[in-house]
Structure formats: C-alpha cells, structure tokens
Structure 1
Amino acid sequence: MPITIVTIAALVLALVFSMFRILREYERGVIFMLGRFWKVKGPGLIIVIPFIQQMVRVDLRIVVMDVPSQDVISQDNVSVKVNAVLYFRVIDSERAIIQVEDYYSATSQLAQTTLRSVLGKHDLDEMLSERDKLNNDIQELLDSQTDAWGIKVSNVEIKHVDLDESMIRSIAKQAEAERVRRAKVIHAEGEMQASEKLAEAYKVLASQPGSIQLRYLQTLTDIAGEQNSTIVFPVPMDLIKPMLDAIGGKSQQS
C-alpha cells in the first residue's frame, strides 16, 4: 500500500511538472486545445495542460536558406546554373503552423521555382549586370506569395551565375571586341581634338609671319638636342624668300 501511494504521488508530480514550459525570447508556442487552435503563448513560463492541450514551438529568428543551384534558360536561350541565398522569418506563428504543413520546406520549394521563372524572363547580360534589380523582383514576388503563410521574406541575393566554358570564351571575345571598339573611338576623338588645336595654332602663326620662322628654329633646336649625326630638315620657300630677295637686290645694285 505505501508503494502504491508513492507511485501515485510521483506520477502526479511528474504530471504537474510537465505542465510547465519555458519559451525563449525568440520563441512562441502555438497552443491547440482538443485539436482546435486556442492561442499563441510566450515568451517565458507558460502552462500547457497535458492530454488536453498541445504546443508547437515556432522560432521567430531570421532564417538563412541556401537555395540550391538551378538550371535556368535565359530569354536569349543561354543555359546557366544559378544559386541564391534567401533571408526570411516568421511574423505570424498561427498562420505559419496552420496554413502550411512545413513552412521551411514550402518556402524553399517556392524560392527555387520563383528563381527559375524570374531569371528565365531576362537575358544573360541582365543576369550579370543587373543583379540588384533581379534580387528585388524575386524578393517582392516571394514575399507576396508567402504572406498568406505568415512568412516575411526580407532579402534575396543571387550568389553565383555559372556558365559553360564555351560561353565564357564567347563573352571574353565580346569584351575584347568592345575594348578595341572603345580604343578606336578614343583614338579618333583624340585625332579630332588634335586637328582642331593644330588649326587654331596655324591661325595664330599665320597672323605673324615671323612666328613661323621662330617655330622652325625651335624645332631645329629640339632636333639638335637628340645628338643626331645627320639632320634632314625641309625648308619652305616662304621662309628663305626674304633672304633670296635681299641677295638679288644686292646683285642688281652691284
């Protein structure tokens, strides 16, 4: 008889202690009474009546989910592999438990399909150069669809866009051709600016006849400083014409 009383007392104490649950600051408890939703409790010490009430813990912290690499065919028919990272958290514990069986798995599958559908509407150049815009489009679409589950998608970041070796070589050739084109354009613009400056210099020199002679002398000085043994320098007739006229006048006088 004493053993039976001790056993009953131990069972009662165990039952009483099992009623108390402790939830951390970032946790909430969704309570069901006889299978029907009752309320959301926490954080702190809460009481759950055994056999009558059941509790499901929900974590409210931000979840970092790695979206597996997806095979995507871009709008310009280029096959690429894209993976991303997803940041989301539960903002409504009741809907996260009642409206969807497994909100983590559901969000993961939805992120994969959304990533393929959104990127498939863009060209490869847009995937490589406009990641911020694509991230925002994916985040807004996911957030609108997971709102019914009590899930808030705060951010989506595309991590890698993997290309085939042949496509990498094609992009490298395209980039090289673009650099050559820019170099030719810059060279042509430089020639245009140089011709404009030469035309302005000619106008200034032409306004003063003596300035052309001084410029020739300056050029001879520059060439002589290079220690050349032989200097071939064209002399225009306009430059020596005054000298020839002076010599011809002296010959006539004599």
Structure 2
Amino acid sequence: MSIPVIGIILAIALLILMNTIKVMKEYERAVVFFLGKFQTVKGPGLIILIPFIQTMTKVDLRVVVMDVPTQDVISRDNVSVKVNAVIYFRVVDPEKAVIKVANAFEATSQLSQTTLRSVLGQHELDDMLAERDKLNVDIQNLLDQRTENWGIKVANVEIKHIDLDESMIRAIAQQAEAERSRRAKIINAEGEMQAADRLAQAARTLASEEQALQLRYLQTLKDVAGEKTNTIIFPLPLDLIKPFMEISAKGKTRES
C-alpha cells in the first residue's frame, strides 16, 4: 500500500474520530440530532456520536450580558426621551434554544428593544426618573415570560441612562426650584402659626394671673433701665396699680 493511500486512510480515520468524540465543558451542552430528529441533550464531559448519523449543536449556558441600543421613547405625558439598558440572561433549556428559535441571542435582543419602548411608554417622565427599580422589574418580568418558550431565562434588566433634551432639563430645574420655594413658604407659615399659638397661650396665662403680669411688667422696666439713655418714658398700666388702689379703698372703709 502506497504512502498516499495510507495518508488518505489516516485522514479519513481522523475525520471520523473528530466527528465521533466530543468534549463538552462544564458550562456547555450538546443538543444531539439523530438523522435530523432531536434525540437528547448531552454533557458536560465526553460524548460519543455516530459519524454522519448523529449531529450536534453546542449551547453555552453562561449568563450573557447584552446592551440594549438607545431607544427613542415617548412617555405617557408626551415627553420624548432616549433610553438605553442592559439585560442579563442565560439559556436554561438547550433543546428549546436550538429548536424553537433560529438565533436565540438576536431574538432576545430585538424583543428587549420593543419591550423597553412598550413598558416605558406607559409611564410618565416622573415615574421613569423616580421609579427606575420598579420599571426594571416590570421589564424583566415581561421579557422573561416572552422568552420562556425559547428556553431563555432573563435574570435582570437595568436601565442605564434616560437622556432628556436641554429644554426639558431646564423645565425640570424650574419645577424643582418652585417646589423648594413652596416647601420653604409652608415651613415658614407653620413656624408663624406655632409662634402665634404660643403667644396666645402666654397671653392667657398672664391674663389669668395678676401677679404674673406685674412681674412681667417689672422685668420689662428692668430691661429698659439697662439701656443707655437719659430719659425713659414708660406708661404705667392700670392693672399694675389696681391692687394698691384696692388696698387703699379697703383702708378708707375701715377708717370710716
């Protein structure tokens, strides 16, 4: 047997061997077809195929991180924004991922774009900015339901950026400033109300106790006397001398 013939035989044998013995890594699975019909899922480890009768498609089970391209979204209150996101998903059913969809990754990418626009379009701009975590969960749940038939599990969705035009940024800044001004006025009004209540309470206390009113009057005299001035004109209230007038009247009654 000539050397060329031996070489051809060895090449054929090597080709058959390569199509017979396969090694799947821990994160890989082999979807095996027997004469074009699905047979089983094998792996990880060493698997043996019948050459030209059994074929296989390799599937990666690791989590895939996919950027969702920037999408133009019109919110429910008719504000145009640009939104992009990132999704985390993985294949959990290799059979469905191969048989049910031609390209699982491309299908998931396209579906994520339409779902992002659909979900965010149902919310107002304030909800997009303030409730991002809730929107992430809503998008993730909806995507997970739609990709379940493809054997794909969407683990997480994160909205990365919500971009606004300059006019909308200025409008939001003006709205925030107006809100801060409103809160400041409310706090000031509440402070004035509390001060008025305390003053009214103090006035009622002083009115019910004549001695307290006299002590307050004398304290005021002391404070004024401490001022650097030559002349002090201070009115003498009738309530202050009323007790002395009553004592004087009682004395005259006794004398008569």
**TM-score normalised by the shorter chain: which range applies?**
0.7 to 0.9
Aligned equivalents of 1:234, 1:145: Cα separation in 2: 87
Instruction: Report the 3-state secondary structure (helix = DSSP H, G, I; strand = E; otherwise coil) of the residue aligned with 1:61.
Output: coil
Find the counterpart in structure 1 of residue 253 from structure 2. none
- The offset of 1:193, in angstroms, is 1.4
Aligned pairs for 1:1-254 within 5 A:
1-3=1-3, 4-5=5-6, 7-9=8-10, 11-219=12-220, 229-230=228-229, 235=235, 237-238=237-238, 241=241
Aligned equivalents of 1:124, 1:118: Cα separation in 2: 12
Q: Deviations over 1:196-251 (max 9, x none)?
A: 111111122222222223334445656777xx6459786452365459969x99xx
Gaps of 5+ in 2: 250-256
- TM-score, normalised by the number of residues in structure 1: 0.86
- The offset of 1:2, in angstroms, is 4.8
Do the aligned partners of 2:83 and 2:160 also contact (CA within 8 Å) in 1?
yes
- TM-score, normalised by the number of residues in structure 2: 0.85
- The offset of 1:56, in angstroms, is 1.2
Aligned equivalents of 1:217, 1:237: Cα separation in 2: 11
- The offset of 1:141, in angstroms, is 1.2
Equivalent position amino acid for 2:237 in 1 = M
Do the aligned partners of 2:62 and 2:90 also contact (CA within 8 Å) in 1?
yes
When the two chains are superposed, the root-mean-square deviation of aligned CA atoms in Å is: 2.7
Aligned residues: 247
CA 1:27–1:220: 2 relative to 1, 3 Å: farther
Q: Deviations over 1:133-186 (max 9, x none)?
A: 211221121111111101111221211111111100100100110111111111
Aligned equivalents of 1:32, 1:235: Cα separation in 2: 111
Instruction: Report the 3-state secondary structure (helix = DSSP H, G, I; strand = E; otherwise coil) of the residue aligned with 1:203.
Output: helix
Aligned equivalents of 1:45, 1:24: Cα separation in 2: 9
CA 1:181–1:24: 2 relative to 1, 3 Å: same
- The offset of 1:107, in angstroms, is 0.2
Aligned equivalents of 1:123, 1:14: Cα separation in 2: 61
